Structures are given as structure tokens and as C-alpha cells.
Amino acid sequence: MANPATALSMIPMTRTFPSLLAALGAFLPAALFAAAPTYTTGDLFMGFRATEQPGDTSVLLVNIGSAAAFRDATSPITLTAIGDIGEDLKALYGANWRSRTDLQWGVAGTPSNNADVNGDTVPTLYASRQQTAPGVPGTGWQVSGSSTRLTVATTMTNLQDGFKTYSATTANSTKAIIQGTTDGASWRQFMAPDGSGTYTTGGKDFGAFANIEGSSAVVGSEGLANVTLSLFRVTGSAAGSFEGTFSIDAAGTVTFTPPAAAGTTYATWAATNAGGQAHNLDFDNDGVDNGIEFFMGQNGSTFTANPPMIGGSVTWPRASDRTVSSFGVEVSTDLVSWGPATPANVVITPTSVTYTPPTGQARHFLRLRVTP
Ligand SMILES: [Ca+2]
Ligand SMILES: [Ca+2]
């Protein structure tokens, strides 16, 4: 027979615990479960917004940490400290967030508008710009005149101050908050067009940049999958310096890749490997132009094969340290007239370029074009 004392002591436990927890939950403010966001002078922001439903009234604003860490990076940084923003993006913009063509992302911030911070003098500005191809920097932002730069720095400080007023970070990140697009100093207010007239000028984000955000508008219809951002640092009247590339994968993991320490130019490569010939010639007569061999990381005068079709796709290897002004996959039906491949059929990574023809596509020809 069971010990009555034991049986009696167990019954109240099972009944009391859930009700006690429920009572505690009723009295604890939500802020105890999600702490207020923190901002340290010198931090930069990454903002996400959509222009269509769902999520078009919300901004995900993430404190991605010290600008100096990106400025001084010598190897890729995986932004693990920002938590699982992929889950936040999913919750706000849907499971298909990365393929949405209306989703935009950008990075901006100023170390300080009134004191030098971590070697960045007043007024140093950081702002992103969409890349036309991953890893290709593009043209640095230019903000002429120190008074204009100071105005932008003050505007960016308003974004920082606005961030500090929120009371809770998101469910999946201690660095991110969700803002309403109409909140007074939300990320959206700094983005033109239709941002706040106090913070934008004409069509310019933060009053100075033609468009710091990336979306499918430049690279095609595949959503954020291939949308990478250059980070530029503006310290004077000259064009800003390229600090590196932001990319985001399907899980929402953000990576920052600094420029290769010593990117090899075509001229340097050709002097050693192709007798100094132009990029559109074929020094070793193997059917692959010098410029393509340079891009693929081939050296010397050994035979180079054009990549074959494997599993319905063609993949060109891409060397990691090549300085090029542009590259892309082109298609033709007659080998005479060539045009860019549909972006949705091309996947570009730091180490490869892959083309997958659409199903049902008529016979066509394919080439990689590289402009050193
Ligand atoms: Ca060749
Ligand atoms: Ca070769």
C-alpha cells in the first residue's frame, strides 16, 4: 500500500506549480524577459524593411557593433553576436523573406558627431551601397564639405538616440529591435523617398546618399539571395574607402568580408602568366581567354578546360584575390549577339559563378565575361 504521506505531498506540488508560475507571470513586466537595447558610441546599424505586406509597417533595426571592427578587419567576420535575426526576419516578413523582391537592407552610422572615436575623426560617416556583383566594391559615397558631413553625422546620431528609446529587444536577438515605420526616428524616417524631411534631402538617405539600401532592383528578381552591400567610410571630401562586403545567407547569418589584402590585378597576373597580353587574347591557345583564366585563378601556360555542364548547371571557379571591375554570365542564341543571363538563373559566390538554364529553354550558348 502506498505511503499516504508521500501521496499527499505530491498532489499539492503538481497543482501549485503551474498556478504559481501563472501568477508570477501576471506580475512580471515584459521588460524583464526582453532587456532594452544597448548602444555604445561607435556602433553601426543594419536596417531591414519591406515595401509590401506582410511587414511593410515594421523595420528590423540591428546594432551590428563597432565600426572600427569592420574598418580594421583582416579576415571575414560572422556576425554571431547579433543573434538569430533570421528568425526575426521570418516572423516579420514571412518564411520567404530572402526571396522577397521588395525587402531592402542597408548599413549606416557615425562613430560620433562631437568627438573622435576609435581613430575615426569627426565627422566620419559609414554607409552601405548595393554591389552589382558580390565582392565588386562599386563607387564610394562622396559627401563634399565638412559642414555637410557634420550635418549627416548629426542626423545619424538621431537614429542612434532613437534606438536607445526602445524598451525591448526582439525574441531572437539582444541587438535588434522592431520599429514602426512611422516612429519618429525609425530607420524608415532616414530613407528616401518618403522618409522624414528632417532627415532626408530630395531622394537621398540621411540627406547625403543616393540609396544605401540593397534590394533586387539592381541584381534581378531573386530577392536578397545575391544582394550584397559594400561598406564605405567617408572621412573627407574624396570618395569613401571600401571597407568590405556584407552578405546574408538563407538562415539569416550575416557575414562581413574585408577586401583581400593584396588583390591581384590583371596587369600583374598577365605579366607573369600571359606574356603581358590583353585579357581578350588567348596566350596559351587552350581556348580560354586570358581574362577568364585570371578570374578562375589559373596560372602559367597549362591547359585550361572550359567548365562542363554538371547536373544541369555550369560552374566557373572564382579566385578569391582578383581585382576586377565587372563580370557576368552572358547568353546568346547565335554566337553573335550576347546579352546578360537572367539574374535568377545565376548564383554568384566568393568562390564560384554558376549558371543554371531555365527548364524548357531553347538551345543557347553561354559565356563568362570578365572586365579586369
Ligand atoms: Ca588560355
Ligand atoms: Ca590555360
* Judgement on whether residues 306 and 222 belong to the same structural domain of the protein: no
* Judgement on whether residues 48 and 183 belong to the same structural domain of the protein: yes
* Judgement on whether residues 277 and 342 belong to the same structural domain of the protein: yes
- Which pLDDT score is estimated for 218? 62
Which pTM does this prediction carry?
0.68
* Judgement on whether residues 320 and 249 belong to the same structural domain of the protein: no
Residue 27 is assigned to a structural domain of this protein: no
Q: How far is the CA of 308 from the centre of ligand 2 (A)?
A: 16
Name the closest ligand to CA 286: 1
Name the closest ligand to CA 282: 1
Q: What is the pLDDT of residues 287-323, one digit of tens each?
A: 999 999 999 999 878 899 999 989 889 999 999 778 8
Residue 247 is assigned to a structural domain of this protein: yes
Residue 7 is assigned to a structural domain of this protein: no
Q: What is the pLDDT of residues 247-289, one digit of tens each?
A: 999 899 999 998 865 568 999 999 989 999 999 999 999 999 9
Q: What is the pLDDT of residues 45-76, one digit of tens each?
A: 999 999 999 999 999 999 999 999 999 998 89
Q: How far is the CA of 357 from the centre of ligand 1 (A)?
A: 25
* Judgement on whether residues 242 and 289 belong to the same structural domain of the protein: no
Residue 316 is assigned to a structural domain of this protein: yes
| Whether pLDDT at 125 is above 80 | yes
Letter string b/e over residues 221-248, b meaning 16 or more CB atoms within 10 A of that residue's CB: ebbbbbbbbbbbbbeeeeebebbbbbbb
Residue 221 is assigned to a structural domain of this protein: yes
* Judgement on whether residues 105 and 142 belong to the same structural domain of the protein: yes
Total count of domains within the chain: 2
* Judgement on whether residues 109 and 229 belong to the same structural domain of the protein: yes
Least confident segment among 1-5, 80-84, 161-165, 356-360: 1-5
Share of the chain above pLDDT 90, in %: 68
Q: How far is the CA of 145 from the centre of ligand 1 (A)?
A: 48
* Judgement on whether residues 310 and 252 belong to the same structural domain of the protein: no
- Which pLDDT score is estimated for 292? 96
Mapped to the 3 state alphabet, what secondary structure does the chain carry? CCCHHHHHHHHHHHHHHHHHHHHHHHHCCHHHCCCCCCCCCCEEEEEEEECCCCCCCEEEEEEEEEHHHHHCCCCCEECHHHCCHHHHHHHHHCCCHHHCCCEEEEEEECCCCCCCECCECCCCEEEEEECCCCCCCCCCCCCCCHHHHHHHHHHHHHHHHHHHCCCCCCCCCCCEEEEECCCCCCHHHHCCCCCCCCCCECCEECCCECCCCECHHHHCCCHHHHCCEEEEEECCCCCCEEEEEEEECCCCCEEEECCCCCCECHHHHHHHHCCCCCCCCCCCCCCCCHHHHHHHCCCCCCCCCCCCEECCEEEEECCCCECCCEEEEEEECCCCCCEECCHHHEEEECCEEEECCCCCCCCCEEEEEEEC
Q: How far is the CA of 287 from the centre of ligand 1 (A)?
A: 6
- Which pLDDT score is estimated for 264? 84
The residue among 222, 257, 292 that closes a domain is: 257
* Judgement on whether residues 50 and 112 belong to the same structural domain of the protein: yes
- Which pLDDT score is estimated for 15? 36
- Which pLDDT score is estimated for 219? 63
Q: How far is the CA of 114 from the centre of ligand 2 (A)?
A: 55
Name the closest ligand to CA 283: 1
- Which pLDDT score is estimated for 261? 57
Q: How far is the CA of 298 from the centre of ligand 2 (A)?
A: 6
Residue 68 is assigned to a structural domain of this protein: yes
Q: Contact, 281 vs 289, CB < 8 A?
A: yes
Q: What is the pLDDT of residues 166-206, one digit of tens each?
A: 999 999 999 999 999 999 999 999 999 999 999 999 999 99
Share of the chain above pLDDT 70, in %: 88
* Judgement on whether residues 239 and 97 belong to the same structural domain of the protein: yes
Name the closest ligand to CA 277: 1
Task: Determine the structural domain holding residue 312 and report its residue range.
Answer: 263-371
- Which pLDDT score is estimated for 344? 82
If pLDDT is split at 50, 70 and 90, which confidence band does 240 have?
Answer: very high
- Average pLDDT of every residue of the chain: 87
- Which pLDDT score is estimated for 321? 78
Least confident segment among 10-19, 151-160, 260-269: 10-19
* Judgement on whether residues 210 and 293 belong to the same structural domain of the protein: no
The residue among 233, 257, 281 that closes a domain is: 257
Q: What is the pLDDT of residues 86-112, one digit of tens each?
A: 999 999 999 999 989 899 999 999 998
* Judgement on whether residues 223 and 357 belong to the same structural domain of the protein: no
Q: How far is the CA of 279 from the centre of ligand 1 (A)?
A: 10
Name the closest ligand to CA 301: 2
Taking residues 149-164, report their average pLDDT: 96
Residue 283 is assigned to a structural domain of this protein: yes
The residue among 206, 224, 257 that closes a domain is: 257
Residue 24 is assigned to a structural domain of this protein: no
- Which pLDDT score is estimated for 221? 58
Q: How far is the CA of 231 from the centre of ligand 2 (A)?
A: 35
CA 223, distance to chain mean position in Å, is: 12
- Which pLDDT score is estimated for 220? 59
- Which pLDDT score is estimated for 134? 80
| Whether pLDDT at 360 is above 90 | no
